[in-house]
Amino acid sequence: MSTRVGRPEPDEIPSHYVGYVQRVPELDPVIVCASQIEDTATLLRGLSDTQAMYRYERGKWSVKEVVGHLADTERIMAYRALRIARGDTTPLPGFDENAYVPAGEFERRTLASVIDEFAVNRDSTIALFAGFPAAAWERVGVAADGSKISLRALAYIIAGHELHHVDGLQTRYGLKATGSKR
């Protein structure tokens, strides 16, 4: 599955995504994406639906909403990656994550269904990335704010975004690897 993507250069990453890219180890980001989904699912599977409604602070997302946000964001990033890989130079639209989460109504669903959706989505992302030709990984698109973003940066952003939220689930929500709260 190795695509030999290579880390993106600083000018390939919009500034608000740099932190996500920095979280990803010096490995192929497609391999990181493939390996991390089971760890994240394991972190969450031991929670009851009631526990998954937990918010660490008033106004913050519930655990279910965090997982739904991960799935939504990954879909958008994968779509952006597809457009760049196919040579589409049309500026990529932005999205408002704070509007998407309530509209997703993730809390009306079971945690298992939200996790399953995220996992299926990840499988789709990995299949998409695995099919990109080597030359595509060097392609660059234009983000909504006019900054450049590369296909390889998007792969790192997807992996780093998950790592960011898993860290938050562990530190702010008190989850540990067994899926239970401390």
pTM: 0.93
Which residue do the tokens 């298992």 mark? 112
Strand-pair category, 148-150 with 140-142: antiparallel
Mean pLDDT of 164-169: 97
| 27: confidence class by pLDDT, cuts 50, 70, 90 | confident
| 181: confidence class by pLDDT, cuts 50, 70, 90 | low
Model confidence at 182: pLDDT above 60: no
Q: Considering only CA atoms, which of 41, 12, 43, 7 is closest in space to residue 25?
A: 7
Burial string for 129-166 (b: 16+ CB within 10 Å, else e) reads beebeeebbebbbebeeeeebbbbbbbbbbbbbbbebb
Q: Considering only CA atoms, which of 36, 127, 34, 148 is closest in space to residue 84?
A: 148
Mean pLDDT of the chain: 93
Go through the domains of the chain in sequence order and give each one's CATH number: 10-171 (1.20.120.450)
In angstroms, the CA 53 to CA 33 distance is 26
Dump pLDDT digits (tens) for 105-137.
Answer: 999 999 999 999 999 999 999 999 999 999 999
